């Protein structure tokens, strides 16, 4: 039969492409069904267009980064490791480099380099790709998977669902795979945003849009109880806060916000200095320029765009002479520097999350093969599997490793 394949893969993202590459043998006819007019639309966006394709961390550390249930991925990360992935690209002439935090990027700084290499390999192995093929119905009948789309129908002995999560739907990842999995009896853990910016309604905070802070400590509290703290880089946006440490904390913030008891963020702008040392530093500045104004003192302590905010926050006139600052005023300044607090009103929506947490429950997936424990000859790969990792190349490594295993097992 012309439209009958040994293996059909729904989704031409990194997981689906890698699955196709390993599923293909001389005898096997393999097809990727992709709703977009081209492959890897989300992949092109990754790492701000530079594609942080993996991490150079050791397997146990990668597994740990996926949290309590991360052990599920141990086998996949062992069978197709970060080193294997790097070898895959380097063997095909793609130079890679390792940046801060063990993040691996193509030397070209272009995610298109990674996608082009994958596409070339698909062509070399004569793997069929159907574009504009939006699978809208899937069922299993007489030993075959039937895949229906407005563009036509395909039959397959084995099916790999690699439709991604539900975030950035404009890339094609609209959560269709959850419905297919559910129709075969799989439990779906409710999709939620992970690695998502946070919304702040305080206009004084949103007025700081564009400001980026490095080496700060960011803590989150629920009713004065600290629940997470991150150190590093963050930025202010027109709707709230974002950047690496905000994204990292966002999944926990989302959980805490659900309790509806209020979440507060607190930035320590001087985490390297304890209160006493900071106090000494401020008094040293005051003694060095007693006749200068408070706003000049602030200039020596803060990024330019925070000065007006601090004048407002501390309630001290920008023109007050430094020598006349009272002990209480210095204390107020220290408190603002060490504990710049504001309320978090919400996370940005799932559509704006880098990653979807939730998805197909791992309880009914075999970690050795990525095969369904419920339906015959059905496999899952990539973000659709309910395990999400932090930023740093972990999620693409998961997509490639689970894709590799699902494809290999379906041969």
Ligand X SMILES: Cc1cc2nc3c(=O)[nH]c(=O)nc-3n(C[C@H](O)[C@H](O)[C@H](O)COP(=O)(O)OP(=O)(O)OC[C@H]3O[C@@H](n4cnc5c(N)ncnc54)[C@H](O)[C@@H]3O)c2cc1C
- Contact residues toward ligand X (CB under 6 A) are 10-16, 33-36, 41-43, 45-47, 51-52, 133-135, 162-164, 167-168, 172-173, 176, 354-355, 382-383, 393-396, 399
Q: Which H helix or E strand runs over 149?
A: strand 144-149
C-beta closer to ligand X: residue 81 or 173: 173
Q: Cβ of residue 214: shortest distance to ligand X, in angstroms?
A: 20
Q: Cβ of residue 247: shortest distance to ligand X, in angstroms?
A: 10
Contact 183, 138 (CB under 8 A): yes
Residues 6 or more apart whose Cβ sits within 8 Å of residue 261: 222, 223
**Given the DSSP bridges, would you call strands 188-194 and 355-360 parallel, antiparallel or unpaired?**
antiparallel
Q: Cβ of residue 168: shortest distance to ligand X, in angstroms?
A: 4
C-beta closer to ligand X: residue 42 or 248: 42
**Do you know the residue count of the chain?**
411
C-beta closer to ligand X: residue 176 or 282: 176
Q: Cβ of residue 385: shortest distance to ligand X, in angstroms?
A: 8
Contact 379, 410 (CB under 8 A): yes
Q: Which long-range contacts (CB under 8 A, 24 or more apart) does 231-236 make?
A: 231/271, 234/267, 235/210, 235/211, 236/205, 236/206, 236/208, 236/209, 236/210, 236/211, 236/212
Q: Cβ of residue 16: shortest distance to ligand X, in angstroms?
A: 5
Q: Name the token pair of 285.
A: 């500045």
Contact 130, 117 (CB under 8 A): no
C-beta closer to ligand X: residue 31 or 218: 31
Strands of 11-48 (E only): list them.
30-33
Cα–Cα distance for residue pair 382/248, rounded to 1 Å: 20
Using only C-alpha atoms, the chain has a radius of gyration, in whole angstroms, of 25
* Among 208, 272, 215, residue whose Cα is nearest residue 237: 208
Contact 348, 197 (CB under 8 A): yes
C-beta closer to ligand X: residue 249 or 370: 370
Q: Cβ of residue 188: shortest distance to ligand X, in angstroms?
A: 15
Q: Cβ of residue 154: shortest distance to ligand X, in angstroms?
A: 11
Q: Hey, is 376 helix, strand or coil? A: coil
C-beta closer to ligand X: residue 333 or 389: 389
Cα–Cα distance for residue pair 351/357, rounded to 1 Å: 12
Residues 6 or more apart whose Cβ sits within 8 Å of residue 389: 62, 65, 66, 70, 355, 395, 397, 398
Q: Cβ of residue 282: shortest distance to ligand X, in angstroms?
A: 40
Q: What is the largest CA-CA distance in the chain?
A: 89
Cα–Cα distance for residue pair 198/349, rounded to 1 Å: 9
Q: Which residue has the tokens 């107020």?
A: 332
C-beta closer to ligand X: residue 120 or 223: 120
C-beta closer to ligand X: residue 167 or 256: 167
C-beta closer to ligand X: residue 21 or 263: 21
Q: Cβ of residue 66: shortest distance to ligand X, in angstroms?
A: 12
- Count of C-beta atoms within a 10 Å radius of residue 327: 9
* Among 348, 117, 383, 132, residue whose Cα is nearest residue 246: 348
Q: Cβ of residue 111: shortest distance to ligand X, in angstroms?
A: 8
C-beta closer to ligand X: residue 36 or 206: 36
Q: Cβ of residue 215: shortest distance to ligand X, in angstroms?
A: 22
Residue 82, Cβ density class (10 Å: 0-12 exposed, 13-18 middle, ≥19 buried): buried
C-beta closer to ligand X: residue 95 or 290: 95
């Amino acid at each position: 039969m012309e439209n009958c394949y040994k293996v059909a893969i729904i989704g031409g993202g990194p997981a689906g492409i890698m699955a196709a590459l390993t599923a293909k043998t001389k005898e096997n006819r393999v097809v990727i069904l992709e709703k977009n007019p081209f492959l890897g639309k989300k992949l092109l966006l990754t790492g701000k267009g530079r594609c942080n394709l993996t991490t150079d961390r050791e397997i146990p550390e990668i597994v740990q980064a996926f949290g309590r249930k991360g052990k599920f991925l141990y086998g996949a990360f062992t069978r197709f490791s970060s080193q294997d992935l790097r070898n895959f690209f380097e063997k095909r002439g793609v130079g890679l480099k390792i940046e801060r935090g063990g993040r691996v990027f193509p030397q070209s700084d272009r995610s298109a380099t990674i996608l082009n290499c994958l596409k070339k390999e698909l062509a070399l192995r004569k793997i069929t790709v159907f574009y504009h093929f939006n699978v809208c119905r899937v069922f299993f009948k007489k030993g075959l998977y039937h895949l229906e789309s407005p563009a036509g129908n395909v039959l397959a002995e084995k099916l790999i669902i690699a439709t991604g999560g539900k975030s950035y739907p404009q890339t094609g990842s609209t959560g269709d795979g959850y419905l297919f999995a559910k129709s075969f009896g799989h439990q779906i853990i409710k999709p939620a945003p992970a690695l998502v910016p946070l919304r702040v309604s305080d206009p004084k905070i949103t007025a700081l849009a564009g400001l980026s802070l490095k080496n700060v400590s960011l803590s989150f509290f629920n009713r004065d109880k600290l629940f997470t703290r991150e150190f590093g880089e963050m930025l202010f946006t027109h709707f709230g806060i974002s950047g690496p440490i905000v994204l990292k904390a966002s999944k926990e913030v989302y959980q805490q916000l659900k309790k509806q008891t209020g979440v507060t963020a607190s930035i320590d702008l001087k985490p390297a200095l304890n209160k006493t040392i900071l106090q000494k530093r401020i008094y040293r500045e005051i003694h060095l320029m007693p006749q200068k104004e408070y706003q000049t003192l602030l200039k020596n302590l803060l990024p330019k765009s925070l000065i007006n905010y601090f004048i407002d926050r501390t309630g001290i006139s920008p023109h007050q002479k430094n020598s006349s600052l009272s002990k209480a005023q210095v204390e107020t300044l220290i408190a603002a520097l060490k504990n710049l607090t504001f309320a978090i009103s919400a996370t940005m929506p799932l559509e704006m999350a880098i990653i979807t947490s939730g998805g197909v429950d791992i309880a009914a997936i075999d970690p050795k093969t990525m095969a369904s424990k419920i339906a015959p000859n059905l496999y899952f790969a990539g973000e659709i599997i309910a395990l999400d990792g932090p930023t740093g190349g972990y999620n693409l490594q998961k997509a490639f490793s689970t894709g590799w295993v699902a494809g290999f097992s379906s041969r």
